[in-house]
Amino acid sequence: MTTKNTQKQNTPSTENELDLGRLLGDLIDHRKLIIGVTLLSTACALVYALFATPVYQADTLVQVEQKKGNAILSSLSQMIPDSSPESAPELQLLQSRMILGKTVNDLNLRTVVSEKFFPIFGEGWARLSGQPEQTLDVNWLNLSLGRDSSKSVLVTVGENGKYQVSLDDDITLQGTVGELLNDNGIDIKISSIDAKPGTEFVVTQYSELAAINNLQQNFTVSEKSKDSGMLGLTMSGEDPILIEKILNNISDNYLQQNIARQAAQDSKSLEFLQKKMPEVRNELDEAEDKLNAYRKQSDSVDLNLEAKSVLEQVVNVDNQINGLTFREAEISQLYKKDHPTYKALMEKRQTLEQEKARLNKRVSGMPATQQEVLRLSRDVESGRAVYSQLLNRQQELSIAQSSAIGNVRIIDPALTQPKPIKPKKPLIVILGFFLGLFASAGIVLASSVLRRGIETPEQLEEQGINVYATVPTSEWLLKRTRLRSKNFFSNRVRHKTKNVPFLALDNPIDLSIEAIRGLRTSLHFAMMEASNNVLMISGATPDSGKTFISSSLAAIISQPGQKVLFIDADMRRGYIHELFQMSNDKGLSDILSGKTSASDAVQTFHKAGFDVITRGMAPPNPSELLMHERFKQLLTWASENYDMVIIDTPPILAVTDAAIIGRSVGTSLVVARFEMNSVKEIMVCVQRLEQAGVTVKGAILNGVMKRASSQYGYGYHHYGYDYTDKA
């Protein structure tokens, strides 16, 4: 019991080891396929890397400084501890349609001219062969786009400054360089052509929105580091000169709009001050008149030291409140009341109002005369301070408006990198190599995992089916069959063509024939207890190799001088008459239908020395003919007149012919194809025959190939003779 349990426990690990070994062996067996696919994938990647159009990249550096042009807003940055950096909105502004749209119009990016090359490889070949670049400059183009985002025409270069314009509807127009062509809804003016006659150019016009979208796809903006204000602008494209022009134009347009925006801010502030200054001057004059009048009335009352100190503090607070009032007036044009900047201003104003209320409380404790003089003096001093502040600010804004420089400057002008950023040739070739390697290995491993074919005789013997022989694939026959069929990817040996070699005669020392000789010895003992000397060889499915096994076995048994009769019982698709180059006028179907006798239908295959009954003309009812009494009479006659009768039958899983034939034979064998037939298929075959009363002696594993993934190897595959085919 202990031994059995130990064996059961060891079985899973052994199977896992064998599975891993089989997978590794499959990779070794299909090494040619893996190497071929890998080389093909690498070659494709190399071709793509060589022929792909290179893509260049230009870059520039822009600095966004803290705003300084408007002094009214400059001090607010101290009141907002977590204010957003100045570069945050600039990133979006640079990619806006306002900036890019102006660039599209400035450089005429709506019109794209490209030379028409041979598809896929034409442009790359022209570049690799060093052909000079051919150009066509379009001054003006209008194709009446309507709702279309783009429209193209084909321009063909002619002789002496002439050209042809072809439309989609096959309309051809003639034009001359330097002259406007206006016809059939096309306005085009070509300023210059530097190309050979016959060269074709595709001229495409995009809508403004489509051109901006195309520009946005190749244009990127990023901040170099957080809150640094340093913006990196990059532009990629196939034309290194054009992308440099585009990037310079974008940065210039951005700079100009920034200056214009700053000047507009100063202009609004100046306009506000010009409206406010007359009002402040009038208020100042009124305050001075009131103070002078009160002093005359009170006989020139002066302020004591305490009142003068309070007056200075009150005037200082009033000046700050007035300053905040002006700032609020400007900020209200830029921000809403819930904006952090606006909130910070209102908080500071509230603090000043509280300080003012405290000072007013101190003033209320003074004598009435002192209070009145203090109040009037405060109005005068505050008015003078406000007026002086506004006057200075007006002069500052006038200077800033006339000399606005904005808060943006271009640090590095646009420059195209000399080396293209795409394609990255080494990386593409490496990726192509690994893609081919992994793809081919994956396919091999997947097919190995999904494969359920028989690989070892033990798989059948575990199900109680004796394996009488393991027949390897004949490399000699495989080469000749491939040469004849011109199919170098098939590992199946098929006898369905005429004039193919008969292995038992043409190469009698082949390993496959040696294996069948071993089968002959095994059958000698297996048939000793059989009811007759009739042997039926069948298979589960077509192409299992039953005809090859049965015909080769007939040739080998007949060599010692025994009389052998081979019967082709596959009356549907039998082809033994083609293999042996015999007449098929009289055969098994004719015997069973009573048209001829067995002796008349027998033909001798002189090369091998045995007799043959072909299938005859294909009947409409093969199964019914086999059930006729004439078939039993035929087998009785054959058994009495021959030492061995071998019957080749149709596949068991396809038709019932083999079950009918098996009732009258003494020995039955089933042929299983290596890696093609599954154990389940062979088990179903045996069950069907046994249900029909046929006892199956065992099976023959045919077509075993020398593979590293196979757990079973035939030990004599290194042993053989030097054999020269002199035919």
The domain that contains 573 carries what CATH number? 3.40.50.300
Taking residues 701-722, what's their average pLDDT? 57
Q: Residue 86 in contact with residue 80, Cβ under 8 Å?
A: no
In the chain, what percentage of residues exceed pLDDT 70? Answer: 77
The parent domain of residue 543 ranges over 457-704
Q: Does 16 fall in a domain?
A: yes
Residue with tokens 């396809």: 654
Q: Please give the pLDDT value at position 631.
A: 93
Task: Return the pLDDT at 589.
Answer: 93
Percent of the chain with pLDDT over 90: 41
pLDDT band at residue 489 under the 50/70/90 scheme: very low
Is the confidence at residue 7, as pLDDT, over 70?
no
Give a yes or no: residue 487 inside a domain.
yes
Residue 304 has pLDDT above 80, yes or no: no
**pLDDT for the residue numbered 398:** 67
pLDDT for 538 equals 93
Q: Tell whether 352 is covered by a domain.
A: yes
State the pLDDT at residue 426: 92
Among 242-251, 495-504, 540-549, 706-715, whose mean pLDDT is lowest?
706-715
Q: Once rounded to an integer, what is the mean pLDDT over residues 700-710? A: 76
CA angle 197, 201, 207 (to 5 degrees): 150
Q: Identify how many contiguous H helices and E strands the chain contains and give both numbers.
A: 25, 20
Of 411, 440, 474, the position where a domain reaches its end is 411
239 and 146 share a domain? Answer: yes
Q: Looking at the structure, do residues 313 and 298 belong to the same domain, yes or no? A: yes
Strand order in the sheet with 135-142: 135-142, 186-194, 180-183
Least confident of 4-8, 195-199, 244-248: 4-8
Q: What is the pLDDT of residue 69?
A: 43
Q: What's the maximum distance between 2 C-alpha atoms anywhere in the chain?
A: 167
State the Cα–Cα distance between residues 324 and 199, nearest whole angstrom: 71
Which of 592, 523, 507, 614 shows the shortest CA–CA distance to 562?
Answer: 523
Burial class (CB in 10 A: 0-12, 13-18, 19+), 241: exposed
Rounded to an integer, what distance in angstroms lies between the CA atom of residue 29 and that of residue 21?
A: 12
Distance CA 203, CA 193 (A): 13
Residues 82 and 28 in one domain: no
Predicted confidence at residue 427, as pLDDT, reads 94
pLDDT of residue 714: 43
More confident residue, 305 or 195: 195
Across 471-484, average pLDDT: 76
Question: Does residue 209 carry a pLDDT above 50?
Answer: yes
**H or E element at residue 689:** helix 679-691
Same domain? For 227 and 189 the reply is yes
Look at residue 305 and tell me if it is in a domain. yes
Residue 696 CB coordination number (10 Å): 22
pLDDT at 130 over 90: no
Residue 89: what are its φ and ψ, rounded to 5°?
-75, -20
Region 334-363: mean pLDDT is 76
Greater model confidence, 519 or 171 = 519
The lowest-confidence range among 177-186, 290-299, 666-675 is 290-299
Mean pLDDT of 317-326: 73
**pLDDT interval class at 371 (50, 70, 90):** low
Residue 712 has pLDDT above 50, yes or no: no
Q: Is residue 308 predicted with pLDDT exceeding 50? A: yes
8 A C-beta contact, residue 444 and residue 26: yes
- How much is the mean pLDDT over the chain? 81
- Give DSSP secondary structure letters for 565-577: EEEE--TTT--HH
* pTM for this model (two decimals): 0.60
At 705, the pLDDT band (50, 70, 90 cuts) reads confident
Residue 716 lies in a domain: no
Average pLDDT over residues 661-686: 91
Question: Do the bridges between strand 135-142 and strand 186-194 make them parallel or antiparallel, or are there none, so unpaired?
Answer: antiparallel
Mean pLDDT of 462-490: 74
Per-residue confidence at 319, pLDDT binned at 50, 70, 90?
confident
Q: What pLDDT shows up at residue 128? A: 85
Instruction: Specify whether the CB–CB gap between 79 and 344 falls below 8 A.
Output: yes
**CA angle 141-145-150, nearest 5°?**
85
Task: State mean pLDDT over 540-561.
Answer: 91
Same domain for 84 and 42, yes or no, is: no
**Which pLDDT belongs to residue 321?**
75
Of 227, 255, 283, the residue at which a domain comes to its end is 255
Looking at the structure, do residues 280 and 293 belong to the same domain, yes or no?
yes
Q: DSSP letter at 207?
A: -
Contact between residue 176 and residue 182 where contact means Cβ atoms under 8 Å apart: no
pLDDT at residue 14, as a whole number: 38
Q: In terms of domains, do 114 and 126 share one? A: yes
pLDDT per residue as tens digits for the range 27-54? 887 888 999 999 999 999 999 999 999 9
User: Is residue 211 scored above 90 in pLDDT?
Assistant: yes
One domain, residues 503 and 640: yes
| Residue 448 confidence class, pLDDT cut points 50, 70, 90 | confident
Last residue of a domain, one of 207, 224, 255: 255
Q: Are residues 227 and 281 in the same domain?
A: no
Residues 270 and 248 in one domain: no
Residue 592: HSE in the Cβ half-sphere, 13 Å Cα cutoff: 28
Domains of the chain: total: 4
Residue 595: pLDDT over 80 = yes
Q: Is 86 found in the same domain as 12?
A: no
Residue entry with tokens 């001219």 = 113
- Residue 70 is predicted with a pLDDT of 45
Q: What is the pLDDT of residue 434?
A: 95
Give CA–CA dist 634/594, Å, rounded. 11
Same-domain check for residues 427 and 490: no
531: pLDDT strictly greater than 80: yes
* Residue 24 belongs to a domain: yes
Q: Does any domain span residue 167?
A: yes
User: What are the tens digits of pLDDT across the range 59-105?
Assistant: 999 988 865 544 444 444 444 444 445 567 888 899 999 999 999 99
- For 642-653, the pLDDT digits (tens) are 999 999 999 998
pLDDT, residue 185, reads 79
User: Would residue 605 count as lying in a domain?
Assistant: yes
